[in-house]
Amino acid sequence: MAAKETIQPGILTGLIAITRRDLLLAWKRPGDVLNPLFFFAMVCTLFPLAVGPSPEQLTFSGPGVLWVAALLATLLSLNSLFMSDHEDGSLDQLLVSPQPLPVLALGKTLAHWIISGLPLVLISPLLAMTYRMSVDIVGVLMLTLLLGTICLSLLGSIGAALTVGLHRGTALLSLLILPLAMPVLLLGANTVSLAAGNEAYATGIWALGAYVVGALSLAPYATAAALRISNE
């Protein structure tokens, strides 16, 4: 028991330190935050201009458009998750760190979600207004995006670790992640559509929550293994 009490604070310290480091680096590179955000906003605002102002059409297509845009915006930022560490040699230091590599990978993924995923959730109510969504539906949309972006960051960290240092890794990363992200996309968009149609949608929320728990349990270890493979 005493050994566990001495190890646990160190693990938590490593998680907080790597997350804080990546957040500070992102603060110095605002483009890493703004590019996915602008992409998400542009896709969501241009679609109503293309299909017309029909309320029925906007209500029907809104959940799918918002979710597809969120998925693509998340993929846009995933390639840089480990790229800067690979280029400046920090990745080698992470691999030989006394801290468990899955914990460090989880910290970097958490920082990525705060930088790229959380802003999408926060601006989604403004974009949902263009699709004539009520306040109740916007709440469901935000909850599904909150759970979904966490899943996408966790799953994306595996693909980013596998493709780090590869030429044209962005295309390969998308091919690796899209099959894993399809259930998240379908669950999220379908849950919001059910809520918009005044149908029962709680099952979709619980399914997304279960997906988050599963990804949180397995993705850090898979990411750590992928980093070791890529570094060989």
Percent of the chain residues past pLDDT 90, beyond the cut = 25
User: Tens digits of per-residue pLDDT, 32-48?
Assistant: 778 888 888 888 888 87
User: Tens digits of per-residue pLDDT, 113-162?
Assistant: 998 889 999 999 998 888 888 888 899 999 999 999 999 999 988 888 88
Cite the DSSP H helix spans in 79-134: 83-88, 90-95, 101-112, 118-128
**CB-neighbour burial class of residue 175 (10 A; exposed 0-12, middle 13-18, buried 19+):** exposed
Band (pLDDT 50/70/90 cuts) for residue 170 is low
Angle between helix 101-112 and 2-28 (nearest 10):
40
pLDDT at 154: 92
Angle between helix 135-163 and 118-128 (nearest 10):
140
Which residue range(s) make up the domain with 222? 2-231
Structure tokens at 37: 């955000």
Structure tokens at 102: 């899955």
Q: Cα–Cα distance between 97 and 84 in angstroms, integer?
A: 17
Band (pLDDT 50/70/90 cuts) for residue 228 is confident
Q: Are 224 and 164 in contact (CB under 8 A)?
A: no
Domain count for the chain: 1
**pTM for this one?**
0.86
Q: Determine the average pLDDT of the residues in 62-85.
A: 84
